[in-house]
Amino acid sequence: MYKIAVAGTGYVGLVAGVTFSEMGHQVTCVDINEEKVALMKTGVSPIYEEGLEELMQKNYFLDRLSYTTDYNAAYKDADAIFIGVGTPERADGSADLTHIATVARQIAESIKKDCLVVVKSTVPVGTNDKVEQFIQDFLVNDVQVEVASNPEFLAQGSAVHDTLQADRFIIGTESDWARDILMGIYEPFGRPIVCVNRRSAEMIKYASNDFLALKISYMNDIANLCELVGADIQDVAEGMSFDDRIGGKFLNAGIGYGGSCFPKDTKALTSLARENGYELRTVQSAISVNDDQKTKLYKEANKRLITFNGLKVAVLGLTFKPGTDDLREAASLVNVPLLLEQGADIFAYDPVGASNFAKRYPEGRSGKGAITYVSNIEQALDDANVCFIFTEWNEVKVVVPDRYKELMRTPLVYDGRNIYDVKEMEAAGVEYHSVGRRS
């Protein structure tokens, strides 16, 4: 078993640290935020992830997991230090590596024995070569240090499951020594491990995420065409899914992909390509389809209603997907301001994301319009002129078609997640618009 330190307790770092401890390794999670560290010590997770708190409490109790702001103490005698800090997007689409550099400097100044530094954060191909050089330049003690790439593939909302049941772990190393340590850390998970060189590992992460983004944008493109020629995207997707070469996952058309990863990683890879004198046209197209897709239903509704001024608009779902309170790049963030600009009176419902959303759009008047957050869907629908569905929460899915007809002033629904059966909505007397299906 290994002594591991993990820098950063966001989705990537915390889930990695907690699952390593679950495998029996001795783990210290490091974060500069004292409040967060104090919270985690009480067994409370700063992020909403199914199963995470239970594992945090269990392994903390077993003394295999600890939290600290004291990076020096955590790093000095670790066998491996995992970096899981954020790599936000810069204005030009490239990845901002400031946090990685800060941690790399702290590592260089702290370590007192040979140590493997493992970068889990998503970084442009070639970055880890630079991180290794950077650490070596700032090393204080006479120790060996090597950097490995070990990208993360968990999805928010299913992070613990995605790690414990990972499809594969990717290990990108430049020496047998580094590979053996990482193999030793990951073998207890009992999942497939793929060993490649460092740059390939970095590329696998981007290529995987961007492929999934391409898949979604492709389905959205086909969905838009389905509408024009009278086909149904859900039937088309089902038919496609039986082909093993295509597979059944990530074929859902809708309001476009959001979140902190696909939008950022598609832009980062096209930007990396451009820096290298190459235009990554496939991924560029995925980005442009996605941008248009986010406002597609808004535009359709705008055409149908002429103006939203003074209308009561029900918005169901604010987060970029269910199972998370994350709003990054969510369709709601594009559509709500457009609706407010036109003077809409929005009643928004989200089971976990409303308070985050209210930080950006506080309850009350906002520009020409107004926004109210409600804790039950019926309040949002009551007397509404139009309803938008942006997230496929189970709480939304269980609302039966008749309720839209009964509660709304005019039962007009724009569903960005295709959660209802078109015929059932029509039979209930609802004017129902979705993506890529007859309406």
Point out the catalytic residue in the list 29, 115, 226, 261.
Answer: 261
Q: Does 48 interact with ligand UGA (rule: CB under 6 A)?
A: no
- Of 22, 31, 89, 152, the residue at the interface with ligand UGA (CB under 6 A) is 152
Asked if residues 353 and 321 have their Cβ atoms less than 8 Å apart, the reply is no
Instruction: Give bridge partners of residue 149 from the DSSP assignment.
Output: 119, 172
x-or-dash pattern for ligand UGA, window 113-132, by CB under 6 A? ---------x----------
**Cβ contact 311:385 at 8 Å:** yes
Interface residue with ligand UGA, options 115, 147, 216, 236 (CB under 6 A): 216
Residue range at the interface with ligand UGA (CB under 6 A); choices 46-54, 208-216, 378-386, 405-413: 208-216
Distance CA 436, CA 421 (A): 13
Shortest approach of ligand UGA to residue 321 CB, angstroms?
A: 4
CA 306 to CA 302: how far, in whole Å? 5
Specify the residue, 154 or 344, whose C-beta has the smaller distance to ligand UGA.
154
The interface mask with ligand UGA, positions 310-349, x = CB under 6 A, is ----------xx----------------------------
d(CA 338, CA 303): 14
Output the DSSP codes for 130-143: HHHHHHHHH--SS-
Answer yes or no: are the C-beta atoms of 179 and 212 closer than 8 Å.
Answer: no
For the chain, helix, strand, coil in percent to 5 are 45, 15, 40
- List beta partners, residue 414: 388, 433
Nearest approach in angstroms of CB 3 to ligand UGA is: 26
Q: Whole-number minimum distance, CB 322 to ligand UGA, in Å?
A: 8
Tell the smallest beta-carbon distance from residue 170 to ligand UGA (Å): 11
The residue among 259 and 369 lying less far from ligand UGA, judged by its C-beta, is 259
**Residue closer to ligand UGA, measured from CB, 18 or 261:** 261
Among residues 139, 155, 195, 338, which is the contact residue for ligand UGA, using CB under 6 A?
Answer: 155
Closest CA to 420 of 409, 410, 412, 432: 432
Main-chain phi, psi angles of 167, to 5 degrees: -60, -40
* Sites for ligand UGA among residues 238-297 (CB under 6 A): 250-252, 254, 257-259, 261-262
Nearer to ligand UGA, 209 or 335 (CB): 209
CB of 251 to ligand UGA, least distance (A): 6
Can 195 be counted among the known catalytic residues? Answer: no
The secondary structure element, H or E, covering residue 119 is: strand 115-119
Nearer to ligand UGA among residue 185 and residue 261 (C-beta): 261
Residue 280 phi/psi, 5-degree rounding, is -90, 80
Q: CA 121, CA 133: separation in Å to the nearest integer?
A: 18
Number of residues binding to ligand UGA, judged by CB under 6 A: 20
Least distance to ligand UGA from the beta carbon of 258, Å?
4
258, 317 Cβ separation under 8 angstroms: no
Q: For the CB of residue 56, give the shortest distance to ligand UGA in the complex, in Å.
A: 20
Residue 199 C-alpha from the chain's centroid:
23
**Quick one: which of 66, 87, 106, 209 contacts ligand UGA (CB under 6 A)?**
209
| Separation between Cα atoms, residue 300 and residue 10, nearest integer Å | 38
Residue 44's CB is within 10 A of a number of other CB atoms, namely: 12
- Which residues are at the interface with ligand UGA (CB under 6 A)? 122, 152-156, 209, 212, 216, 250-252, 254, 257-259, 261-262, 320-321
Active-site positions read: 261
